[in-house]
A = this chain, B = another copy of it.
Amino acid sequence: MSHPRGPLSQLRRGHEELVLELLRKHGPLSRGELGKHCGLSRTTLYDILAELVSTGAVVAASQQDGPRGRGRPAETLTLNPDAGQAIGIDFARRGLHVAAVNLAHEIVGTASEPHAADLPWEQRAELAWRLVRTLTGGGLELGALSAIGVGVVGPVGTVDPEDESDAGDESDPGDDGDFEAPHPVQLLLRERFGVPVLLDNNTRLAALGESIWGAAAGGQDVLYLRLSHGVGGGLVVGGSLHRGAYGLSGEFGHITVDEDGAPCGCGGTGCLETVASIRAVLESCRAAGLAADDVPELVKAAGAGDATALAVLAGVGAAVGRVLAAVCNAIGPSVIVIGGELAETGAALIEPVERALGAQVMPVSRHRVSLRRATLGEVAGALGGIALVLHESPLLSRYPAGPDLAPGLLRQEDPMNQSRHVAGRSGARPAKELP
């Protein structure tokens, strides 16, 4: 799971991908047949195959139905169906979400477990290990595990570790300002699982997850906004997660919506997060005379047509729509996905968002961008972690198309405002559904 640079290393990875692609497409092939298809020299091909066999991605077997009469049957090579399993883990602030796929890109299962916000990393890693094992019914082939994709709260990227300013919540255990060194959870998981551990921001990974398996399945240019305790998001650009020059892209929550507004945790003033986070929305409700203690109560009030709830959500939606329009004009996505707990308020929030977006996005783009609610629920980040592995690993690369991914596991009921079920194969809990 190194990240080789330079044309020769890239070419070698290209060769590996080609061989895997040929085996996916044609099924079992002999070395000679592979050689004819791929145009590589015998030496190069045998090198590549030795590597793929040693990593367990490819297995050799005697051909059963081959031509006979010219000595012993030729050995054929085939993809190892047990190999290349990938795991995604989302270390959210107050809970853990895991998901797993096999080499055929089928989701083996997903699971979640809440925990205290201050749980130390050692215990989180231990919890992840236990959860992954239940997920696979205890039958996880760790030797065949290719890599783990992990999401954590806070900026991940190439931010200068010497800079002490910080955009995130200071109580956030993953937000220690030292982004160049391995994250503690990378070391812990690496030791526990014995495979490479790829890391990114969990909200960005949710964007990637939604763009592959969720509301924006198949979308190459996707804008994802999460309205939760914090307000953040992610951009998928040309099918890949966009990180930005210093790992701070997708910070939609810190776009100014009111220059005379409230101070924000980021150090700014009047950021979207100061009006559209869960806390800000509940406080606005309280200030207007509606005592909703949490999002479910707000959802209930909005559903019952409470005028205060609707007015507050209309104001929030207008601010969200203005920000989305600005980003849309800059980037030109085909799909905007809104996730996070506040999206559960449904039309009371989404319709005002749509109105403001429609009013401020360039008229020529208005009918080209589609606004959708997230469908993957709380496992979006874990699924995005898997997508990260699929992106980075030659053994698992090339995405499946969304709906073909795992027939029977992913059932799409309504592409617009319904959720998909993402359920485990063996005892894992189904993903949380949006109402």
Contacts and interface: CB of A to CB of B under 8 A. Distances in A.
A18 to B, nearest CB: 5
Interface stretch (A35-43, A60-68, A185-193, A411-419): A35-43
B163 A268 contact: no
Interface in A31-88: 35, 38-44
Interface in A356-385: 359-360, 362-365, 367-369
A408 interface: no
Between A237, A238, A323, the greatest number of chain B beta carbons within 10 A of the residue's beta carbon is seen for A237
A221 B39 CA distance: 36
Nearest to A242: B237
A14 B21 contact: no
A167 B40 contact: no
A251 interface: yes
B362 A251 contact: yes
A364 B11 contact: no
Given A221-B244, A266-B363, A330 B235 contact: yes
A254 B221 contact: no
A226 B10 CA distance: 36
A329 B259 CA distance: 15
Contacts of A243: 332
Contacts of A15: 11
Interface string A234-276: 0101101011111111111011100100000011110000000
A330 B331 contact: yes
A160 interface: yes
**Which 10 pairs between the two chains have the least Cβ-Cβ distance?**
A244-B332, A245-B334, A267-B363, A41-B41, A249-B332, A221-B245, A167-B364, A39-B44, A248-B332, A251-B329
Interface of A: 7-8, 10-11, 14-15, 17-18, 21, 35, 38-44, 155, 159-160, 163, 165-167, 219-221, 235, 237-238, 240, 242-252, 254-256, 259, 266-269, 322-323, 325-327, 329-335, 359-360, 362-365, 367-369
